[in-house]
Structure 1
């Protein structure tokens, strides 16, 4: 919950150009994410709510970083549209799957790699803005991970779409017979 509560704080300090503070908030949020996951696994306290909120918080931080950096003209708006567009696409896939009686697909490793790239890229760009002395290496590295992450993000999205189509086409093992077709 602390990590979710820190999202608006992160966005405000980022938009204000207080990059060092934004990095600190992001570091605290990342530490609480790590501790939460570690403790949940260690003590068997994994819950469905936690499984839903954790990736939601990840997405919120990515969106907040993208919006804050784009607002300040540090990243182009097209990169925001590319990354947010992929998540809108996956939301649509989720609706389609739910309409066919399926839950969300399992997370694909490529999606995890793409998210890692974005989690690495955006703070590296912020680091270069906060500390110009390191921008000579942090900005190119951040942009390399950002472009690669956006590409992998969509590649994983296409894999999810293919998997969703495959799952929907699978015959159901047991089809319930509607009650109005049963004979007495």
Structure 2
């Protein structure tokens, strides 16, 4: 979703149209780390790719916190912050898929879920000015996924699988050794899908209110 334009004390901060703020510069640096991460990974430089990805992921909270605490929340920042999170998430799962460390269904879930949030959120903002605030469980889900991807990128140490099945597309549950990061991936997926349901319900409620206001305004004009 987007930056919550609230100060730590709960008062609403003015949202400006500035471009060059400290928070926005940090967001842009995080964006530039994405192609660097992919280049390093595809060259087989696992440790370097992990460090770049982990740095970009670990600074996820930094731009939003700086914007709120310095009262420099911007329209650009409200778009960049969630968009870069989604881009980093998609490229993270794509990278580990390309090097064969994660099954296809995981990348499908992540990409479809993030596309749903991006497209749906963009439509709600542009059409009805509806913005569903980010909730902390969503941040936790993103953190779990980022940690999981970092573990899969590093690919060490490997832990034994549970041996509950022989399905190759369920790493960790079969008997093959797997990176510890897969368990963070599973936790992040479950939590992120739950948060997506919450966002959907909250958006539908706001959409109903917006449509009701439009109908009332139409009757008033008539």
TM range, smaller chain: 0.7 to 0.9
**RMSD of the alignment, in Å?**
2.9
Deviation track 1:132-174 (CA, whole Å, cap 9, x = no partner) reads 4x3339x553111101111111111111122222222233298
* CA distance in structure 2 between the aligned counterparts of 1:85 and 1:61, rounded to whole angstroms: 14
Change (3 A) 1:175 1:100: farther
Equivalences, count: 177
Q: Counterparts of 1:175 and 1:52 in 2: how far apart (Å)?
A: 30
Query: In the TM superposition, what whole-angstrom CA distance separates every residue of 1:49-86 from its partner, at most 9, and x where no partner exists?
Result: 11221221121111111111101111111100011111
In terms of fraction of residues, the more helix-rich structure is 1
Match of 2:99 in 1: 72
Structure 2 gap segments, 5+ residues each: 1-27, 161-177
Q: Tell me: CA distance 1:117–1:71, structure 2 relative to 1, closer, same or farther (3 Å).
A: same
Write the distance in 1 (CA, Å) between the matches of 2:159 and 2:135: 34
- Cα distance change of structure 1 residues 113 and 33 upon mapping to structure 2, 3 Å threshold: closer
The alignment's TM-score, normalised by the length of structure 2, stands at 0.68
Contact 1:117 1:149 in 2 (8 A): yes
Within the candidate set 45, 48, 59, 2:75 is matched to 48
Give structure 1 stretches of 5+ with no counterpart: none
User: Is contact 2:149-2:185 (8 Å) kept?
Assistant: yes
What's the counterpart of residue 133 of structure 2? 106
**Contact persistence 2:130–2:206 (CA under 8 A):** no
- Distance in 2 between residues matched to 1:105 and 1:34, nearest whole Å: 18
